[in-house]
Structure 1
Amino acid sequence: MFHGFAGILGKRHEESYTHVQAVRAACYGYGGHTQEYRYHRG
């Protein structure tokens, strides 16, 4: 991860952290609808 971001963002501090968060489709979205709603409504 560190080397991948360094290739995109340039020189990084030697101590860098990556935060990954799994979010259910029913918990987020945009335009007033969740991602789950968009999936089922097509």
Structure 2
Amino acid sequence: MDKLDPILLQEYFSVGYEYYFYNSKLLKKKDPLLFDYIERLVKNDY
């Protein structure tokens, strides 16, 4: 079983978080799961 690379995972969320604030429509279109996750984090649903 492969382990997730924490550095790549951090980069993935970091870029997604940046897109959420600057171009949320594009993020929602390209990666709806990440968009929903970040949106819940921002609204403190987690």
TM range (shorter): under 0.3
Bigger proportion of residues as helix: 2
TM-score, length of structure 1 as denominator length: 0.25
